[in-house]
Amino acid sequence: MVSQLNRSLKRALGLATALVIAGFGVSANARIHRDPGQTAIPQVTVQQIEAGKTFGIKTAPIRIDTYTDFECPHCQDLYETVLEPLINDYVSSGKVYLVDHDFPLPMHPYAKIAAYYADAAAAIGRFPQVQQALFIHQAQWAATGKIEPIVAAVLSPAKAKEVEELEKSPVVHAAVQHDVEQGQALGIDETPTMYITHGGHRTPIIGVVSYPILRGYLDALLRQ
Amino acid sequence: MTPASRSRLRRCLLILGRVALGLVFIFAAYGKLRPIGPAPFTAASFEITGSSLSLSTMTFAMEVDSYHMLPTWGVMFVARVLPWFELGLGLLLLSGIALRWAGLITMGLVAVFLTAIVHSYIGGLQINCGCFGPGAEPVSKLTILRDSSFFALATGVTIGAFFDTRAKRKPSSEAATAQVEGAVSADPGA
């Protein structure tokens, strides 16, 4: 009888502890929501950002590196007509590993800021959504420079806040600069530029190639 | 300078011009047909197989396509035919066979290349030239200048070939006239 009472008491105590912990949790969460200025900004590294801008598996037989500028109309064309179907047909099936690099050109006033936003989104795993929004609404933000509303529209308020904070982070700026330096080392001065690597051989493609032709090329590569 | 030495010089220049142009075309064809991967002008870079050809063709097709001037079937036709056509034309120029016609076709072909390059340059297309096969060679003022000099060379070779043929025909027609005149004077009834 006493042992049964003890067991019930223990259960009640356990439940009370759980409730208290849960209560603290809810209150802490509520505090974060009450004070939007105190959003926790994740600590990120350049490597994490770079990993966030890749699609597919690293062991895929073909690797495609793209150097794009978010404000360049040809890059928008490449994204809409080539990269989107490429992701569906070749990246999803593990045939292609796609790596995105920023290469904002000096002649485009908002391209670098757009790249900062995209890399900030990459740091929190939201690169595909932000990349798509930036390219689809290119004409809109390129005319006004108002990038933040375009990015916020495709993210939850909390994630949008994180991206906004991260966009100013020196790590994000360093990630963009790293991409630019990589591109310059390859001799790139135009966008879009793609490098298709297969079997240790790299083929540069400058400009926009039509998807049926690229598909034929990738199939020929895979047959090798 | 005597007419004979002038004619010799013209003939030498014509040979130099057609050999240079022929080598350019053979080199351009080789760049488009050679297997992707091996270093150029090695034994492996001449081992053209079915699969290597298919890859080289598709690589060249991507460069033709980037000019945005042809539909997909047109791009594929050019990618499959042009390298072999360039090779044939290069061999014709090198050998001097049917030089007038080879020169005329070369002029037309280079004019088409030049138009495509100028069109893409003016249109602000940032693309690979693709003139000598795959490689990062963006269309620029330099590529326009280079193709213009090829066009000038092709024009020179064509004009030279026509002059040369006329010069070769002239003595034989003169000889024929002389022969006819001789025959007429020998005829006592004339």
Residues A21 and A104 in one domain: no
Whole-number Cα distances in Å, B150 to A128, A136, B18, B134 = 47, 43, 11, 20
Identify the closest residue of chain A to B66 by CA–CA distance.
A209
Q: Which residue has the higher pLDDT, A174 or B53?
A: A174
Domain shared by A32 and A57, yes or no: no
Is A210 found in the same domain as A109?
yes
Kindly state whether residues A147 and A69 are assigned to the same domain.
yes
Residue A63 shares a structural domain with residue A133: yes
HSE at residue B139, side-chain half, CA atoms within 13 A, is 26
- Computed from CA positions of residues A5, A7, A10, A16, in that sequence, does the dihedral angle turn out positive or negative? negative
Q: pLDDT tier at B174 (50, 70, 90 boundaries)?
A: low
d(Cα B123, Cα B116) in Å, to the nearest integer? 10
Q: How far apart are CA A193 and CA A211, in angstroms?
A: 15
Q: Chain B within 8 Å of A105 (Cβ-Cβ)?
A: no
Ranking A18-22, B64-68, B74-78 by mean pLDDT, the lowest is A18-22
Residues A8 and A101 in one domain: no
Query: Is residue B136 less than 8 Å (CB to CB) from chain A?
Result: yes
The CATH number that applies at residue A201 is 3.40.30.10
Q: How confident is the model at residue B48 (pLDDT cuts 50, 70, 90)?
A: confident
> Does A217 contact B55 at a Cβ distance shorter than 8 Å?
yes
Q: Do B62 and A209 touch (CB under 8 A)?
A: yes
A188 with A102, same domain: the answer is yes
Record: contact B127-A203, CB cut-off 8 A: no
Are A13 and A57 found together in one domain? no
pLDDT tens by residue, chain A, 224 residues:
445 545 655 665 555 554 444 444 433 343 333 344 445 667 889 999 999 999 999 999 999 999 999 999 999 999 999 999 999 999 999 999 999 999 999 999 999 999 999 999 999 999 999 999 999 999 999 999 999 999 999 999 999 999 999 999 999 999 999 999 999 999 888 899 999 999 888 888 888 889 999 999 999 999 88
State the nearest Cα–Cα gap between B145 and chain A, in angstroms.
20
Q: What is the ipTM of this complex?
A: 0.71
Instruction: Using a pLDDT cut of 70, give the percent of chain B over it.
Output: 89
Q: For residues A208 and A164, state if they share a domain.
A: yes
**Is B65's CB within 8 Å of A209's CB?**
yes
Domain range for A52: 46-223
Domains held by chain A: number: 2
pLDDT at A224 (0 to 100): 82
| A116 and A152 inside one domain | yes
Question: Both A129 and A187 in a single domain?
Answer: yes
Chain mean position to CA A76: 16
Question: What was the pLDDT predicted at B6?
Answer: 84
Q: Return the pLDDT at B53.
A: 83
- State the DSSP string of A169-212: -HHHHHHHHHHHHHHHHTT--SSSEEEEEETTEEEEEES---HH
Q: Clarify whether residues A124 and A188 are in a common domain.
A: yes
> Residue B16 pLDDT > 90, yes or no?
yes
Among A192-201, B22-31, B145-154, which stretch is predicted with the lowest mean pLDDT? A192-201
- Per CB-CB distance under 8 Å, the chain A contacts of B132 are none
